[in-house]
Amino acid sequence: MRLRLTHTLMIASAGLAFTAAPAAAKHHMAGHQMMNPMVGGAAMYPTKNIIENAVNSKDHTTLVAAVKAAGLVETLSGPGPFTVFAPTNAAFAKLPAGTVDTLVKPENKATLTNILTYHVVPGRITAGQIAAMAAKHRGTASLTTVQGEKLMFRKVGNGFKVIDAKGGMARITIANVMQSNGVIHVIDSVLMP
């Protein structure tokens, strides 16, 4: 009888621990989101959208100017969700001299839009999800962008390289910057469709 009672108590306490686990996980996740990485010297708030956060990053002023020139502010402020691979100012500086100035001219809006939407994937895709996809496909994952072409992701060391349609590569330098309407992954080169 005593053994049966002990066994029943163990099962009951295990059940309580199991039902409490989702609440603990939510609390941990909420705490994790409060620890969102700093980007460009600014706090990134998971309660703000992609544009509201990006405008505060001193490392993304070129990207923000390009998004404004392409007329994508309203879209990237919308409900999404979107996954944005966000090149830094240093990434844009790697392009040939004069490229950015040429792209932001009104007559080049279509080309600029094509390049920027190549940096956006529909949905909220975390680094963990990319890693899981890559693990299923011998270390390489593929995602289709809003622009319509694919980006490839290859595991390199502890992180991932993003490979564009032209074979160019960018490294994800800051992953999982959570936003109210998606997630940003900071990259160190501009991707070209």
Encode pLDDT of 44-84 as tens digits. 989 999 999 999 999 999 999 999 999 999 999 999 999 99
Distance separating the N- and C-terminal Cα atoms of the chain: 72
What's the pLDDT band for 16 if we cut at 50, 70, 90?
very low
Lowest-pLDDT choice from 31-45, 83-97, 163-177 = 31-45
Contact (CB, 8 A) for 50 and 181: yes
pTM of this prediction?
0.81
Tokens of 128: 């963990």
Encode pLDDT of 125-150 as tens digits. 999 999 999 999 989 999 999 999 99
Contact (CB, 8 A) for 180 and 33: no
Contact (CB, 8 A) for 153 and 160: yes
What is the CATH code for 37-187?
2.30.180.10
